[in-house]
Structures are given as structure tokens and as C-alpha cells.
Amino acid sequence: MSDKLLRCAIDYLNSIGIREVYLFGSLARKETTTYSDIDLTVRGIKPEDFFTVYGELLIRKTNSIDLIDLDIQSDFGEQLTKSGELKRIYV
């Protein structure tokens, strides 16, 4: 998994004002394969803008990406935090 692809996603999220970005999954655990996707969670996306933002991330990348809104799915964020899998990558 290219750091360049992850950086592209982070730069886009930053450009639209997202200030909290977290990584989870195989990339966060440093267990990637050629089939790994990028798993990101964020805070600060307006609910009505979520799918636009997600779509833009998919357009900008060649790999698949999963985007979770922690403002909506806070229970999932708590599970990731308890398991130690959530890695903050942008503030």
C-alpha cells in the first residue's frame, strides 16, 4: 500500500476542513497485502456531505477505501480504541 495514496486521502480531507483522521485495519497494523484497502475514520463531516466526500475519495484513488464517520458511528470508534487498533494520523 503506497504512502502516497494515503497522503492523497489525508490531503483531500484536510482541504475540506476535516481535522481528525484515524487509520485502522491492516494498514494501521502494518499487515498489508496487495489486496489491502485503506480504512479511515473521521470526525467533522456534515452528515449531508458524507457520501460526497466518500465518493471524492474513491475517485481520487485506485485502491478501495473505507470511510467511517465517528460522529455517527461512535460505538465502532470505541471498539477500535479499546482494541488499540485506532491510530490518529491527522489532527
Percentage of the chain beyond pLDDT 70 is: 93
What per-residue confidence (pLDDT) applies to 2?
67
Q: What is the pLDDT of residues 40-75, one digit of tens each?
A: 999 999 999 999 999 999 888 756 889 999 988 888
Cβ neighbour number for residue 40 with a 10 Å cutoff: 25
Chain-centroid distance, C-alpha 49: 15
Whether 91 contacts 22, CB under 8 Å: no
> Which whole number is the average pLDDT over 24-41?
87
Say what the pTM is. Answer: 0.83
CA distance 55 to 77: 22
What are the chain's domains?
1-90 (3.30.460.10)
Q: What is the mean pLDDT of the chain?
A: 87
